Amino acid sequence: MDILQILSAVLLGLGAILGVVGAIGILRFPDFYTRMHASGITDTLCTGFFIGGLMLQFGMTLASVKLLLIFMFMLFTCPTATHALAKAARHGKLKPWTRADADAGLSNEGRVS
Amino acid sequence: MSGLGIWNYLIIIFLMMTGLYMVISSSNLVKKLIGLNVFQTSVFFMYISFGYITGGAGPLFNENVELYSNPLPHVLILTAIVVGVATTAVGLALAIRIKESFGTIEEDDLHKMDSSL
Amino acid sequence: MSDHMILRVVGKFLIPYIMLFGLYVQFHGDFGPGGGFQAGVIFASAFVIHTLLFGVRATQKIAPEWVLRLVASAGVLLYAGVGVASLMLGANFLDYDVLGAYPVAGQHLGIILVEAGVGLTVASVIMLMFFTFAARGEPEGESP
Amino acid sequence: MILTSAALAILVTMLLAIIRALLGPTIYDRILAVNMFGTKTVLLIAVIAGIAGRGDYLDIALVYAMINFIAIVAVMKYFEYGSLGSIGNDAPGKQEGE
Amino acid sequence: MLEQLIDIFLLAFLAIISIAIVRIRNVFTAVMLFGIYSLVSASLFMILDAADVAFTEAAVGAGISTILMLATLSLVGRDREKPLVKKKISFLPLVIVLVTGATLVYGIVDLPPFGAADNPVHTHVAPRYIFQSMSEIDVPNLVTAVLASYRGFDTLGEVVVIFTAGIGVLLLIGGRRRKEENADE
């Protein structure tokens, strides 16, 4: 097992951990904005790690260039989509769930006011 | 038949039946069209499953590959997908016209409004 | 969508690359996955995203409906025309062998032309459909 | 082996995202889950291409990334403005009459 | 081995999503779930070695279908309105579906084994396409070769169908609204 394989394994492993952590976050966090922070932060970096690991697997070929293009594309679109979604939610008057709400016993789900 | 084959075909039939159920029982026209699409996709899976060979490569010619999947189902399904979206668009256009003429796309209401149906 | 500044900027930035990718898929279809059907849809989706960001009236100025109708018909005609050309040269309908100096060259030329016809038709029909759907709910631009 | 575990991790992630998309109390949660699902599908296709060792398949991953972005923008525009063809609240590219 | 695992996972995803689409009442959510459904099915095509089909399904099924359905929803109203007619629960559709499904399940027993290289479907015309196309057509992508050359006449038919569908959509909802009658040329 040469050094490139080990490096690739490390990158893919990091990407996998980030992906699963983001997914657990999206499942377990209490309201929309916290869920968005879980997925929005991990998504792009997870993509980067995965693409990096795969590029090491493919070596210096045309495939690596294509992977780089995919990464560039996702680098632009992922944060843009997240930003636009957050903005849309704010426009749609979706209130964040705060500690005060929790103390008052209000539900954390889907309060549009 | 291998276990994977049974699983593949069972799920295909399950999807087909969900699509059929949606087409028959849901009264919203757009949802009926979604059901039709689900049904269509299950037929696509069926064809592609027939064309699959375990251990074969995709039908892209390569010097050191001996076994290819069957390209013929791929061709049929490729065109069927595009034709499918075209027909779906016609169906959606019909739904829009029905909404404009009758004010609803619920099938039950349509039956009530026009007793000749 | 004007309050979505970032979305507009990024989207406008991506449109030419999507078109370029569509052309790549169209002409690389002989060697990798791809071909006329896929390329047409990808090319059309560049216009779809323009419509989403800037409104259907703005996009229809770029790609007017009569042009799209012409192009859609031209694609079908191109496809059928290749067939008629091979008829004229003494072979069967859509038998490309006679189109070139030797059979394989004829096949290459025929496939490229046919795929171009498919791509033109699919792209313009998809755009036409989407514009029709999107413009249905919009004011015409004249007094109602 | 490495790629296999990576593919498994992606599948687990996709499963969790599907659960959120089905539960999602508000529509925004569902859109978020769909977005995440699309991103992970791109990665899954890239990993499958790596397993098969064919660089050609990466074109498909690229098309996925693109379609995912367009679909998310369309869903958001529909949800916010109620129409896909409108310009939005104000019109910088002001529409002139014909 | 791995391909089988991914295949099983993705098919299970498809089943889950289809059940959810049936059960969900809001049409907008159903359309969004249908978008996911298309993405998953495209990955499944990918696993089953059909790269071109996956390409088409991703671009057409997930992209254009979903967007056209959204455009329709924006015209016909988003939510399921209160129906005028009270929907009576009917078991007839379920019975029909179950009977049909049972018949089909009975039918799959006789299918040839999945993935075997000597199935009847692989013996008739496919070997000619696979092994002679490089000398006859010289296009590495066999799907393109079959699509555009061997079965060019079929594809001409498909293109005409798409063209006709475009004309149909234009005739149905194109042009001006019904406000001013006979304004259409």
D84: nearest CB among E6, E59, E74: E74
Predicted pLDDT at A113: 43
- Residue B93's pLDDT is 93
Q: What is the pLDDT of residue E84?
A: 55
For residue C142, is pLDDT > 50? no
CA A72 and chain centroid, separation = 15
Q: How far is E6 from chain B (nearest CA, A)?
A: 11
Q: Is B81 on the interface with D (CB under 8 A)?
A: no
Question: Would an 8 Å CB–CB cutoff place B95 in contact with chain E?
Answer: yes
Question: What is the pLDDT at residue C144?
Answer: 32
CA distance, residue D15 to nearest chain E CA (Å): 7
What is the rounded average pLDDT of the residues E2-30?
Answer: 88
Query: What CATH number should be reported for the domain holding residue B73?
Result: 1.10.287.3510
Range of the domain at A32: 3-103
pLDDT averaged over every residue in chain E: 84
What's the pLDDT score for residue D25?
Answer: 81
Nearest to E83 by CA among A1, B105, B20: B105
Domain tally, chain A: 1
Task: Show the domain range for B25.
Answer: 3-113
Is C12's Cβ below 8 Å from some Cβ in A?
A: no
- Show the tokens assigned to A108: 């954390």
Phi/psi of residue B57, each to 5°? -100, 165
Question: Residue B82: its chain C contacts at CB < 8 A?
Answer: 37, 41, 122
Q: What is the mean pLDDT of residues D37-63?
A: 88
In a domain, A111, yes or no: no
ipTM for the complex? Answer: 0.89
Inter-residue long-range contacts of E91-97, CB under 8 Å, 24+ positions, other chains counted:
E93/B21, E93/B24, E93/B25, E94/B21, E94/B25, E96/B20, E96/B24, E97/B17, E97/B20, E97/B21, E97/B24
- pLDDT tens track for E89-148: 678 889 999 999 999 999 888 888 888 888 888 888 888 888 888 888 888 888 888 888
- pLDDT at residue C143 in the model: 31
The Cα–Cα gap between E71 and B83 comes to 19
Instruction: Say what the pLDDT of residue A41 is.
Output: 84
Put simply, whether A77 touches C (Cβ < 8 Å) is yes
Closest-CA distance, A102 to chain D, in angstroms, reads 17
Q: Give the residue among B35, B32, B113 at the shortest CA–CA distance from E85.
A: B113
**Residues of chain B with a CB closer than 8 angstroms to some CB in chain C:** 60, 78-79, 81-82, 86, 89, 92-93, 96
Nearest chain B residue to E80 by CA distance is B28
Hey, are the CB atoms on C107 and E137 less than 8 Å from each other? yes
Chains contacting E (3 or more CB pairs within 8 Å): B, C, D
* pLDDT-above-90 percentage for chain C: 48
Could you give the number of structural domains in chain B?
A: 1
A99 in any annotated domain: yes
pLDDT of B3 over the 80 cut? no
Q: If you measure CA to CA, which chain B residue comes closest to E89?
A: B25
Query: Which residue reads 């990955």 in tokens?
Result: E43
Question: Which one, of D8, D18, D15, D19, lies nearest residue D48 by Cα?
Answer: D8
Q: What is the pLDDT of residue D13?
A: 92
Structural domain boundaries, residue C36: 5-137
* Cβ neighbours of B88 (radius 10 Å): 24
Summarize pLDDT for C51-97 with one digit per residue, the tens. Answer: 998 888 889 889 999 999 999 999 999 999 999 999 998 888 888 88
| Parts of chain A with a pLDDT under 70 | 1, 105-113
The number of domains in chain E is: 1
pLDDT of residue D76: 86
Residue C88 lies in a domain: yes
Q: Would you place residue E165 in the very low, low, confident or very high pLDDT band (cuts 50, 70, 90)?
A: very high
What does the pLDDT look like over B72-88, one tens digit per residue?
899 999 889 988 998 89
Distance from CA of C61 to the nearest CA of D (A): 10
Reply yes or no on whether the pLDDT at D85 is more than 80.
no
Domains contained in chain C, number: 1
